[in-house]
Amino acid sequence: MTKLDILVLAAHPDDAELGCGGTIAKHVALGFKVGIVDLTQGELGTRGTPETRQAEAAAAAKILNVAIRENLRLADGFFQNDQADQLKVIAAIRAYQPEIVLANAISDRHPDHGKGASLVGDACFLAGLAKVETTDVQGKRQAPWRPKAVYHFIQSNLLMPHFVVDVSEHWHRKMEAIRAYKTQFFDPSSQEPETFISQPGFLELIESRGKDFGYAIGATYGEGFTVRRLPGVEDLFALK
């Protein structure tokens, strides 16, 4: 079992990179163990296939140097915040025992994002209940585990962040990881249909959003997060 400091639980391959790739890269550089578990294979995506998405996700994981990357293979577009899917997410949380979980935006253009946020948030709570039973890959009963915090990254919809992480020194690695998804983003030579994220303006949105959040905290680039439960600080000097 790989004990993680931070676990990103995201609805689709590329959600983690787009929403918090800079934060992942920064914390890996700081020496923390970070992992990504994708809920679905993104099999309903217009461009690419589950196989190409899997290869692209592996390439992005290598760029970000994460400790693990897995896929729960929930149904893209049709997974639910119900007992069956909650138990699969709970098992992943208990397997890696993260201190912090990063999850999808609480509301967004794609319905899987808000749905994923709710599923992961509820699973994080339920994972701490001893009477909720799950087993690991060897069939052994897992111990309860509840992360100390759950933070939601911001995606297409502009949400007001509750805090912003300075990712200026790691922005280039975030963008490199995003571009590993060659089937998904702008490619003038591609013959596949245009989608919302394959338009050239989409990556410009990611760039401008990063600059906007960065400017708000006096940095070059930032990534914003929202919370369901307000975080605390030891003293006022802990605030940047």
> In CATH, what number is assigned to the domain containing residue 17?
3.40.50.10320
Query: Which of 96, 63, 97, 89 is CA-nearest to residue 181?
Result: 63
**pLDDT score recorded for residue 240:** 78
The answer to whether residue 121 is domain-embedded is yes
pLDDT at site 162: 97
Please report the pLDDT score of residue 186 as a whole number: 85
Q: Quick one: how many helices (H) and strands (E) in the chain?
A: 6, 7
Give one word for 12, left, alpha or beta, with left for phi > 0 and alpha for psi -120 to 50.
beta
Q: Which are the contacts of 142, defined by CB distance < 8 A and separation ≥ 6?
A: 91, 94, 95, 134, 135, 136
Are residues 2 and 67 in contact, defined by beta-carbon separation less than 8 angstroms? Answer: yes
Could you tell me if 66 and 38 are in contact, meaning their C-beta atoms sit under 8 angstroms apart?
Answer: no
pLDDT digits (tens, 9 = 90+) for 153-210: 999 999 999 999 999 999 999 999 999 999 999 888 888 899 999 998 999 999 999 9
One-letter amino acid of 201: G
Containing structural domain, residue 138:
6-238
The C-alpha atoms of residue 147 and residue 152 are separated, in whole angstroms, by 14
* Residue 1, in any domain of the structure: no
Would 148 be classed as within a structural domain? yes
Domain-located, residue 108: yes
* Burial of 138: CB neighbours in 10 Å, binned 0-12, 13-18, 19+: exposed
In this predicted structure, what is the pLDDT of residue 163?
96
Total domain count for the chain? Answer: 1
Asked whether residue 163 is assigned to any structural domain, the reply reads yes
Q: Would you give per-residue pLDDT tens digits along the chain (240 residues)?
A: 789 999 999 999 999 999 999 999 999 999 999 999 999 999 999 999 999 999 999 999 999 999 999 999 999 999 999 999 999 999 999 999 999 999 999 999 999 999 999 999 999 999 999 999 999 999 999 999 999 999 999 999 999 999 999 999 999 999 999 999 999 998 888 888 999 999 989 999 999 999 999 999 999 999 999 999 988 989 999 887
Asked if residue 223 is part of any domain, the answer here is yes
| Cα–Cα distance list, 135 to 25, 96, 119, 123, 183 (Å) | 31, 13, 19, 15, 36
Contact criterion met (CB below 8 Å) for 75 and 42 = no
Decide if 137 is inside a domain.
yes
In a domain, 218, yes or no: yes
